[in-house]
Amino acid sequence: MTDDLEPVPLPITDELDLHTFRPSEISDLLPTYFAECLAHGIFNVRVVHGKGTGTLREGVHRLLPSLPMVESWTWPAAANYGGWGATWVQLASPSECS
């Protein structure tokens, strides 16, 4: 048996769960994921950062205003969508991102 270190492609959906990521990884992850969402016609993304210490949430909220593809964001999400542990991100259409 050999170790397969190739990345495993994951489906692009309207939800990004950050529980397995470190705060230092989100600055590269979010813009890449949002760009893929736009390429797949997804304009509303629920970013699940959890409640925890708030480190992931703070990092996400600090980054969102600097991303040209982000039109707006709402935190907390409704209770049935993660409440304080999730942020809804509205992406701009590709023509509005430049």
Q: Where are the domains of the chain?
A: 15-93
For residue 2, is pLDDT > 60? no
Quick one: pLDDT at residue 3? 63
Q: What are the C-alpha distances in Å from 9 to residues 6, 12, 83?
A: 9, 9, 29
Q: Among all chains, which residue has been given the structure tokens 């992931």?
A: 56
Classify the C-alpha dihedral 27-32-33-39 as positive or negative: positive
Q: What is the pTM of this model?
A: 0.86
Matching CATH number, 15-93, of 3.40.50.300, 3.30.2130.10, 3.90.1150.10, 3.30.1370.110:
3.30.1370.110
- Closest of 46, 38, 40 to residue 92, by C-alpha: 38
Quick check: 26 pLDDT over 60? yes
DSSP string over 12-52: --SEEE-TTS-GGGHHHHHHHHHHHHHHTT--EEEEE--SS
CA–CA distance, 55 with 80 (Å, rounded to integer):
22
